[in-house]
Structure 1
Amino acid sequence: MVEEAMKSEESKIIDDAKVTGVRSNGEEDEQPEEGEIVGGEGDGDTISSSSSRPGTAVAQHPLEHSWTFWFDNPSARSKQDAWGSSLRSIYTFSTVEEFWSLYNNIHRPSKLAVGIDFYCFKNNIEPKWEDPVCANGGKWTVIFQKSKSDTCWLYTLLAMIGEQFDHGDDICGAVVNVRKSQEKISIWTKNAANESAQVSIGKQWKKVLDNNDTIGFIFHDDAMKDRNARNKYTV
């Protein structure tokens, strides 16, 4: 039942009829079934934005890092399941063209079901506190009114994959949490103890979002111990 619910929700995020997959060996994949996660075993598939017309090709602009979209629907998880058991990688992209091919065919946060978490993390980093890269990190968070985070989610993604942060190497990825009365966007980082790097990221993120409100940074260690953990840094 959990798997069926996951597939149903995933089909709402990505319009598979508009996205053509390319396997890691470069062979063009067939259209996936509705809700199917191509690649399996948690490895996000990589898509191609090359034109399907014979004799044409689209120039690719590589990103400094490859990035993976992840999807989690906690409501589909039974009470006995461990956190992260419903987390799935969706697609991995490594060029500007691949990003837009994906982004133009996925639902914005305002169109996602309540309870869903949608992530974009550097490839090979799982969006979990337990991931070795994330274990000593933390996160900046901005809270939005319901259905008001769409533009800021896009700006956050573009700033991350476009390497607009002075301390971009410290960034793991970002997540948007869709809840009943609000939406939250967070940027996860690697080294929470490096205050200067975290403050720099927070300040630059606020400029990207044109946000004048105070935002806070919480250590993952503190969040694991106390769901009401206090901010260690604010900007």
Structure 2
Amino acid sequence: MGVEENLKSLSISEEGNKNPNPNVKEDEEEEPEEGEIVGEEDDSTSSSSKKGVVEQPHPLEHSWTFWFDNPSAKSKQAIWGSSMRPIYTFASVEQFWSLYNNIHHPSKLAVGADFHCFKYKIEPKWEDPVCANGGKWTVTLPRGKSDTCWLYTLLALIGEQFEYGDEICGAVVSVRGRQEKIALWTKNAANETAQQISIGKQWKELLDCNDTIGFIFHEDAKKLDKAAKNRYTI
């Protein structure tokens, strides 16, 4: 499946940061490459040369920002989104894995938490100019079962897996008492056939999801709240 190949490629840098053989010290001499002169450098020169070698990062096409909406800071009186905070912006494969491996996955988040990953400078709010005319596809999963789908969604985002990638704003995983939801936000809700349906179908395929998923306009959600109905379904 395409996302599995993407996972392998994006894992290269994560694995590359580890010592491939735990029985061999990282500072031991490696096999000389063809044409390399061996034995003519003293220890200080050799050490200095090694320290000067810097692995090049693998840049992403877009920078992305993780946002967290802390459930303990929410209240019914507070303005929606007022407790939401940007956590970190990353721009390379290495930075992504460094963050992902050191943050709680959805199954470990507190009930009421919302964790977002959006393109840099796009806020995960209806009021953001880029999101204002958009909507979202949503997948609903049992409590504690969204970790893999969340990872695959993140890899699809940062790996530019979608045909209409410019339409993508970001994604959010929402942890609730009996279920977890992953929503994929897009820019132009009214563009049904050419963009929204294509994005929904691709996302379902990437997640290997057999359930029906629906698309809600942000405008409907603002007016009707939980009574908003799906405009498109796949």
* Cα deviation code 1:86-136 (max 9, x no counterpart): 000000000111111111111110000100000000000000000000000
Q: Which residue of 1 aligns with 2:197?
A: 199
- Counterpart secondary structure, 1:93: strand
Q: Which residue of 1 aligns with 2:219?
A: 221
Aligned counterpart in structure 2 of residue 157 of structure 1, from 151, 154, 160: 154
Aligned counterpart in structure 1 of residue 171 of structure 2, from 137, 151, 174: 174
Aligned counterpart in structure 2 of residue 85 of structure 1, from 82, 85, 91: 82
C-alpha separation in 1, matches of 2:53 and 2:81: 42
C-alpha separation in 2, matches of 1:192 and 1:140: 10
Aligned residues: 183
Q: Which residue of 1 aligns with 2:145?
A: 148
The within-5 A match list for 1:49-60 is 54-60=51-57
TM-superposed deviation, 1:68: 0.1
1:110 counterpart letter in structure 2: S
C-alpha separation in 1, matches of 2:76 and 2:111: 18
- Counterpart secondary structure, 1:121: strand
1:209 counterpart letter in structure 2: L
C-alpha separation in 1, matches of 2:76 and 2:53: 51
TM-superposed deviation, 1:55: 3.6
C-alpha separation in 1, matches of 2:76 and 2:213: 32
C-alpha separation in 1, matches of 2:172 and 2:79: 19
CA RMSD of aligned residues (A): 1.2
C-alpha separation in 2, matches of 1:170 and 1:79: 32
Identity over the aligned pairs, expressed in percent? 74
The runs of 5 or more residues in structure 1 that have no matched partner are 1-52
C-alpha separation in 2, matches of 1:74 and 1:136: 27
2:207 counterpart letter in structure 1: L
TM-superposed deviation, 1:74: 3.8
C-alpha separation in 2, matches of 1:221 and 1:118: 22
C-alpha separation in 2, matches of 1:174 and 1:200: 16
* Cα deviation code 1:57-107 (max 9, x no counterpart): 222111110000000024422333211110000000001111111111111
Aligned counterpart in structure 2 of residue 188 of structure 1, from 164, 174, 185: 185
Which range is displaced more, 223-232 or 173-182?
Answer: 223-232
2:115 is the counterpart of 1:118:
yes
Aligned counterpart in structure 1 of residue 134 of structure 2, from 114, 137, 144: 137
The structure that is helix-richer by fraction is 2
Q: Which residue of 1 aligns with 2:34?
A: none
TM-superposed deviation, 1:54: 4.2
Q: Which residue of 2 aligns with 1:234?
A: 233
Instruction: Tell me the TM-score normalised to structure 2 length.
Output: 0.76
Q: Which residue of 2 aligns with 1:24?
A: none
TM-superposed deviation, 1:56: 4.3
C-alpha separation in 2, matches of 1:151 and 1:180: 19
* Cα deviation code 1:195-230 (max 9, x no counterpart): 020000000000100011110000000011112211
C-alpha separation in 2, matches of 1:233 and 1:223: 14
Q: Which portions of structure 1, spanning 4 or more consecutive aligned residues, are displaced by more than 3 angstroms?
A: 53-56
User: CA distance change for structure 1 residues 73 and 154 in 2, over 3 Å: closer, same or farther?
Assistant: same
- Counterpart secondary structure, 1:169: helix
Larger relative contact order (Cα-Cα within 8 Å, sequence gap ≥ 6):
2
Instruction: Tell me the TM-score normalised to structure 1 length.
Output: 0.76
C-alpha separation in 2, matches of 1:219 and 1:56: 50
